[in-house]
Amino acid sequence: MIKKYVYGTPFPTEAVVKDIEASDDKLSFFETDDKGSFTYTFAEDDIVYGLGEQIRGINKRGWQYVSWNYDNPNHHEDARSLYGSHNFIIISGKQTFGAFFDYAGEIEFDIGYTKRSEMKITPKTSDLIVYIITGDNEKDIVKQFRGLIGRSYIPPFWAFGYGQSRWGYKNEQEIRDVAQQHKAAGIPLDSIYLDIDYMERYKDFTVDSELFPNLEKLAEDMKAQGIYLVPIIDAGVKIEDGYDVYEEGVRDNYFCKNAEGDDFVGAVWPGKVHFPDFLNPEARKWFGNKYSVLTSLGIEGFWNDMNEPAIFYTEDRLKDTCAKIEKLTSENMGINEFFEFTGMVAGLNGNKGDYDKFYHNVNGRMVKHSDVHNLYGMNMTRSAFEALREICPEKRTLFFSRSSYIGAHRYGGIWQGDNKSWWSHILQSMQQLPALNMAGFLFTGSDTGGFGCDTTEDLMMRWLQYSLFTPLFRNHSALGTRGQELYRFGNKGAAAEIVKIRYCLIPYLYSEYLKAALNDEMIFKPLAFDFPEDEMAKQVDDQLLLGNELMIAPIYKQNAFGRYVYLPEEMLLVRMKSCENITTEVLPKGHHYVDIPLDELVFFIRKNKAIPFGKAVEHTAAIDKNTLRLLGYPDCLYELYSDDGYSPVPDNSLNISML
């Protein structure tokens, strides 16, 4: 059952698609106070699931999290905010229920931080809607919530292939080389991503004519090899005379305004920019239609970046800061002044105060950005999704975004942002998956190999062995870091085998994805969601159930060639060196130490289950649904969902066949 409680005058976030009547009852479970906080007193063993893209473990107890979409490249244990705001939690224990705090501004989740036994949720203002969801168990609560927020985005089939990305691919030739080198090394590939380098001076919907003289031809040649190009689009629009996007936006008042009513100016990669007012439906439509500049060149997928929105600095703050620095340096700078100086400079990027300085036009009403901050990225992706649905209605377009709010899951996926080539970030990505799925985000994955910092071959191998299970499977790295395309490593053959196994698993992963999207279910679940009576399962936060058949337990520690795994029931251990070299072994319920050499993929098939398993192929177009074998317990069947992989999927479409 879902109950809705309305406080003050909430901004319509459009996270929810079902109209339910507000309840007059007293709010259950939480105590409210005059500061606008919602307080829950924990029982010792209560677990808190959820919050989507956040740091720390699957159980969120023991930290303070802040929903404030933020371009934060430091996913450290003490971070409070990342790129998305997913204010849905499930409290599981003495009482089990779900709660969604539908609020467009900043909201704090103190989950046993100030007081270990207490959770206190505090929005900036008391204008929000709280939904309380009760049900049979965690899965039932998730299903009800997902019904409330609408069906998850379904990408095209090719989006399940392996993707290669890097910030800094210089020109067309380099893209061709990347494709060629994958082919030469026998590494399957379905997509190559274009980062900001392809644009002319970082201007959205332009292509640098020297570096990429003929993008249409490049896209066509790549497609002939089964490879899709996926360009990036940034939120900020460069201020430059003669640039149509800039000029149209100014002319039609499609940019966010400052308090004086002028177009607000921030600085990001293109230099000075205006921010499209994605909360204005007209502006949304206008910007979305611009994607056709690229679809008309044969592009079928996009990633949206910098849409928290990220602001490196604003002119006013820069001026103030420079003035203060001048004052400091003209006097005798002591140590305190030195730290004041470095703090001020560091504080320019992503400064919260800047978000108070601009406004959105919401049906004629000027709304301060910071009051609706967390909706910006969602509406950027919505802008693209809604326009492309009309521009190319016959097919699905790949979309994923960096910033998001619940509701954005209907328009696209998200990638998990600027992680680092750190062992701990394999685990961090994995721990976000169930929480993201709870919030409707099914199409997701991390920058495989790590984005920031230099990766190593062993880290990459382990990362692949984890990422090959996530819907978005993309190798991406930052400018200036060590190149991490798989063909660069000593044992590229081993990496190629791991990627090929991904392709054998795609029929299964796609089928589970579609079933989850169409039935409002999760793909990745904590063990306790399926084994609620198992006290041990509740403690496990480095293994996940995948779909209805698998359990994964990847390695995320340097120089570990095995690990402890907890089996909540008897399972079949599957060991793969390649798509053909497979051994299996039945393991009883309980704790096991499992050897996992660097070049082997290990996962588990649940008792009396089987999965479809294909052949190694070069790209998704070559996957043949007619030659699938079953892998798993003998005489077990699998319900396979399949479709053409590109037509939009109607709501009632469950093309299931028994395999």
Q: Which residues from 460-479 bind ligand MIG, rule CB under 6 A?
A: 476
Check 102, 418, 457, 549 and give the catalytic one: 418
Report the 3 state secondary structure along 160-224: HCEEECCCCCCCHHHHHHHHHHHHHHCCCCCEEEECHHHCCCCCCCCCCCCCCCCHHHHHHHHHH
**Scanning the structure block, which residue is given the tokens 């003490």?**
78
Report the 3 state secondary structure along 544-598: EEECCCEEECCCCCCCCCEEEEEECCCEEEEEECCCCCEEEEEECCEEEEEECCC
Q: Tell me whether residue 418 is one of the annotated catalytic residues.
A: yes
Q: Which residues from 414-453 bind ligand MIG, rule CB under 6 A?
A: 417-418
> How far apart are the C-alpha atoms of 289 and 390, rounded to whole Å?
9
Q: How far apart are CB 308 and ligand MIG at their closest, in Å? A: 10
Hey, what's the torsion of the CAs at 548, 554, 556, 558, to 10 degrees?
Answer: 180
Q: Which is nearer to ligand MIG, 102 or 234 (CB)?
A: 234
Reported as type and span, the H/E element at residue 303 is strand 301-305
For residues 23 and 13, the answer to whether their CB atoms sit within 8 Å is no
Check 305, 354, 447, 521 and give the catalytic one: 305
Q: How far apart are CB 94 and ligand MIG at their closest, in Å? A: 40
Residue 304 φ/ψ, nearest 5 degrees:
-105, 125
Q: Which is nearer to ligand MIG, 354 or 600 (CB)?
A: 354
Beta pairing class for 271-274 and 237-238: antiparallel
Q: Which of 4, 402, 525, 563 binds ligand MIG (CB under 6 A)?
A: 402
195 belongs to the binding site for ligand MIG (CB under 6 A): yes
Render the burial of 590-624: b for 16+ CB within 10 Å, e for the rest.
eebebebeebbbbbbbbbebbbbbbebbbbbeebe
Q: Which is nearer to ligand MIG, 311 or 610 (CB)?
A: 311
Q: How far apart are CB 513 and ligand MIG at their closest, in Å? A: 23
75 belongs to the binding site for ligand MIG (CB under 6 A): no
Q: Which is nearer to ligand MIG, 167 or 646 (CB)?
A: 167
Q: How far apart are CB 418 and ligand MIG at their closest, in Å? A: 5
Q: Which of 90, 154, 192, 196 binds ligand MIG (CB under 6 A)?
A: 196
Mask: binding to ligand MIG, 368-397, rule CB under 6 A, as x and -? ------------------------------
Q: Which is nearer to ligand MIG, 10 or 168 (CB)?
A: 168
For residues 455 and 421, the answer to whether their CB atoms sit within 8 Å is yes
Residue 584 φ/ψ, nearest 5 degrees:
-135, 160
Mask: binding to ligand MIG, 289-318, rule CB under 6 A, as x and -? ----------------xx------------
Q: Which is nearer to ligand MIG, 82 or 516 (CB)?
A: 82
Q: How far apart are CB 456 and ligand MIG at their closest, in Å? A: 20
> How far apart are the C-alpha atoms of 33 and 647, rounded to whole Å?
50
> Is the C-alpha dihedral spanning 391, 392, 394, 400 positive or negative?
negative
Q: Which residues from 222-261 bind ligand MIG, rule CB under 6 A?
A: 232
Structure tokens at 506: 């795609």
Check 14, 308, 371, 512 and give the catalytic one: 308
> How far apart are the C-alpha atoms of 224 and 571, rounded to whole Å?
42
Mask: binding to ligand MIG, 150-169, rule CB under 6 A, as x and -? -----------------x--
Mask: binding to ligand MIG, 530-569, rule CB under 6 A, as x and -? ----------------------------------------
485 belongs to the binding site for ligand MIG (CB under 6 A): no
Q: Which is nearer to ligand MIG, 418 or 520 (CB)?
A: 418
For residues 88 and 135, the answer to whether their CB atoms sit within 8 Å is no
Q: How far apart are CB 233 and ligand MIG at their closest, in Å? A: 10
194 belongs to the binding site for ligand MIG (CB under 6 A): no
> How far apart are the C-alpha atoms of 118 and 100, rounded to whole Å?
18
> How far apart are the C-alpha atoms of 543 and 567, rounded to whole Å?
10
> How many residues appear in the chain?
659
Angle at 470 (CA atoms; ends 529, 430), nearest 5 degrees:
55
Q: Which is nearer to ligand MIG, 418 or 530 (CB)?
A: 418
For residues 528 and 566, the answer to whether their CB atoms sit within 8 Å is no
CB atoms within 10 A of CB 76: 11
Q: Which is nearer to ligand MIG, 194 or 546 (CB)?
A: 194
CB atoms within 10 A of CB 364: 6
> How far apart are the C-alpha atoms of 531 and 37, rounded to whole Å?
33
Q: How far apart are CB 310 and ligand MIG at their closest, in Å? A: 7
Q: How far apart are CB 194 and ligand MIG at their closest, in Å? A: 10
Total number of residues binding ligand MIG (CB under 6 A)? 10
User: Could you say which DSSP state residue 452 is in?
Assistant: B
Q: How far apart are CB 376 and ligand MIG at their closest, in Å? A: 15
457 belongs to the binding site for ligand MIG (CB under 6 A): no
Q: Tell me whether residue 308 is one of the annotated catalytic residues.
A: yes
110 belongs to the binding site for ligand MIG (CB under 6 A): no
Structure tokens at 488: 């660069």
Q: How far apart are CB 423 and ligand MIG at their closest, in Å? A: 20
Q: HSE-up of 223 (CA within 13 Å, CB side)?
A: 13
Q: Which is nearer to ligand MIG, 59 or 403 (CB)?
A: 403
Q: How far apart are CB 476 and ligand MIG at their closest, in Å? A: 6
Q: Which is nearer to ligand MIG, 13 or 304 (CB)?
A: 304
> Whose CB is nearest to ligand MIG?
167
User: Which residues are known catalytic residues?
Assistant: 305, 308, 418
Q: Which residues bind ligand MIG (CB under 6 A)?
A: 167, 195-196, 232, 305-306, 402, 417-418, 476
